[in-house]
Chain A
């Protein structure tokens, strides 16, 4: 691993951290698509800034582009306020228009400037170490590392300083306003930070992939925890992990670094989405299946309790009476037997003492529907699962 490789990994990790922090709040505030809009609509800002400064890394350009990002947010909000279209339509109308203006500006001046749309959208991390910051003749590292480093420092500083304000205004706008923290100021500060981060990161990972770095780690973390601090920590961890592993995959495949970082983010999300302990797809399916069986069992026991005549309690009759398929009735019957709820004699099913008590309790619960009884029931059902 040479120094250029190390620098690329450091830059990628810094970008990942800088994106994960505002990204977490965007996801929690249900404004994830705003980051997509900002990342596209900064293009005209970048182009105009480039006309003026002729330097993609100048702070002035970053400022100008970030202002374009904020203008996008304000435009979207204004269109939304007119009530003519819904919010998501407003987003979908504003950013393609601004992006088109940017593309046209580039195309019309293609001969004068060294800037193309691909570079802005996709970025090229591999070239980042070659553009070095030299102060009074001393080489102190790649420019983009310093840019994203300072953005990250500001972000972390603000995060620590205003953590509780951000937290309150994210989860309860009304409370935050009544406590005296203006939700509007929080909103626009967050938007400003997101814009600046997007601009600062675009020439390393490209505008669209900034969106991935903002949303994917936060979404993945949100599936694993409901604690804000843990979520921030997990999002940063996922971001940095994909940044570094993505770099090595790109190295191995000889393909775009930004692309493979995003792919890693996607894979991590897929894994968590499938296997997360409580909110993952498999856990959800398993839980739904459990609940279905539990309800079936309860229905079955209630049916038994309601009918004393033997003909109603014959195994074959039950099959058609409750209208279940064979497999399902068999599994419910087995479950009930295993838990000593029923006994079967000559294909006649009858409740045991335990089953009878349980059913009475269940009926009580259904009739009274009091919350206090839920806790007991939960434990009873828990027994069944074993």
Chain B
């Protein structure tokens, strides 16, 4: 199956449609909430939470003995929240730094989860197979009810976000100010964090514990490059996330042996890479171009200033000089001279150059900042 087949199949085939819709919605909601995580400098929290959710899944299975995805996700949610608040308390109550707290909770919860999973596997219960799909995720196991659940959560997220938009925004950019004007920062904080945990837990089934953090970060980091406005960033992140989901599913469906989760992550990373390079204001490419252009302008100015100092000594400013005397000057190249001619600052006659009236004036005002025109 190639990619074209895939797109024609999406509309007809139940499984493909469900999976595509599921990954798209997941990408959108994680992108949206990820924007908050990225801006709050909590990027790695997602990684920690997704790992911390594992023991919850195992314990939920041990207690209930059923493999119902709602029950398991509830377990994951609870253990993810416990992990998050433990991280908080480590950071605020002890002198351990956030990176240590994150790494500690992440690895310890994950290890505990693995202990429980291997313990479950040894149990005489035929029902346990497939729990390890939460490690790497299997988009193929998405069914319609999962997609409905995802849409509901996305709807609630949107609603809450719209309701508390100004609270979220103000908390994001100035926490102390928020406190002084009387908002309860703790409640808002818990609200945002809980929604991030919720989004991560929902993604576990699709992309798995290990790669979930990228789903949260990559669309938001890509969106950040294109805008300085929060609302635009959230929308863009949702779009990038959704597209990563769709493209990732398309590519993995069109090839054999390709797990969906990693492909989605790669697609999202490509979005990030493109944004890093090509975004007009912050992107590396345009930044480099601006840099080169500025340097060239500076060289041009230096040549002009050098000419000015020579011409200054003559009564007639347009007195011709040979090009040779410019050779010792490092700002000079054939190109810069030509550019000056093009701008009508210099007139060239064979091997001789002379400053024009306009060029002389510009050069005189070059460093006095009287001419407003910036070259």
Contacts and interface: CB of A to CB of B under 8 A. Distances in A.
Interface of A: 27, 30-33, 35-36, 40, 79, 82, 84-86, 88-89, 91-93, 96-97, 99-101, 103-104, 107-108, 110, 117-118, 121-122, 208-209, 211-212, 214-216, 218-219, 222-223, 250, 253-256, 258-263, 265-266, 269, 273, 279, 281, 284
Contacts of B272: 93
Nearest to B47: A92
Chain A CB count within 10 A is highest, among B103, B106, B259, for B103
A91 B100 CA distance: 14
Nearest to A103: B262
A211 B119 contact: no
Contact of A215 (B107, B112, B261): B107
Contacts of A100: 211, 214, 261-263, 265-266, 269
Contact of B38 (A89, A208, A255): A89
A212 B214 contact: no
A93 B217 contact: yes
Nearest to A253: B119
A100 B137 CA distance: 12
Nearest to B287: A82
A86 B262 CA distance: 23
A259 B258 contact: no
20 contacts: A33-B103, A40-B210, A84-B276, A92-B43, A93-B214, A93-B221, A97-B266, A97-B269, A103-B262, A208-B110, A214-B103, A215-B100, A216-B108, A250-B115, A254-B122, A255-B115, A262-B111, A263-B115, A269-B108, A284-B93
B305 interface: no
Chain B CB count within 10 A is highest, among A31, A110, A266, A279, for A266
Given A96-B265, A223-B96, A281-B93, A215 B110 contact: no
B231 interface: no
Nearest to B264: A100
A260 B55 CA distance: 13
B218 A262 contact: no
A118 B135 contact: yes
Interface string B94-137: 11110111111011111111111111001000000000100110
Nearest to B248: A100
Nearest to B41: A86
B47 to A, nearest CB: 6
Dominant SS at the B interface? helix
B82 to A, nearest CB: 12
Contacts of A88: 41-44, 99
B79 interface: no
Chain B CB count within 10 A is highest, among A31, A100, A218, A269, for A100
Given A104-B266, A208-B210, A209-B110, 4 more contacts: A35-B103, A84-B224, A212-B104, A255-B115
A266 B110 CA distance: 10
A27 B108 CA distance: 15
Interface residues of B, number: 62
Contacts of A211: 103, 106-107
Chain A CB count within 10 A is highest, among B46, B89, B257, for B257
A265 B108 contact: yes
Dominant SS at the A interface? helix
B107 A36 contact: yes
B301 interface: no
A269 B104 contact: yes
B304 to A, nearest CB: 33
Contact of A279 (B94, B211, B218, B224): B94
Contacts of A214: 103
A92 B94 contact: no
A34 B117 CA distance: 27
A121 B210 contact: yes
A92 B276 contact: no
B106 A92 contact: no
Nearest to A109: B257
Contacts of B101: 219
A212 B102 CA distance: 11
A30 B99 contact: yes
B182 to A, nearest CB: 21
Contacts of B225: 84
B103 A215 contact: yes
B217 A33 contact: no
A258 B259 CA distance: 26
A259 B257 contact: no
B211 A92 contact: no
A263 B112 contact: yes
Interface in B156-203: none
Contact of A256 (B95, B96, B115): B115
A88 B43 CA distance: 6
A259 B266 contact: no
A70 to B, nearest CB: 19
A370 B276 CA distance: 54
A104 B115 CA distance: 26
A253 to B, nearest CB: 6
Contacts of B107: 36, 208-209, 211-212, 215-216, 262
B283 to A, nearest CB: 8
Nearest to B265: A100
A89 B100 contact: no
B111 A212 contact: yes
A215 B114 contact: no
B263 A91 contact: no
A101 B261 CA distance: 11
B51 to A, nearest CB: 7
A366 to B, nearest CB: 26
A99 B115 contact: no
Contacts of A97: 214, 265-266, 269
B114 A259 contact: yes
Interface in B269-292: 269, 272, 276, 282, 284
Nearest to B255: A108
B43 A27 contact: no
B194 to A, nearest CB: 20
Chain A CB count within 10 A is highest, among B47, B109, B261, for B47
A208 B259 CA distance: 20
Contacts of A101: 262, 266
B249 interface: no
A19 to B, nearest CB: 11
Contacts of B153: none
The 4 closest A-B pairs by CB, nearest first: A262-B111, A259-B115, A96-B214, A212-B107
A104 B111 contact: no
A254 B121 CA distance: 10
Contacts of B100: 27, 30, 32, 215, 218-219, 222
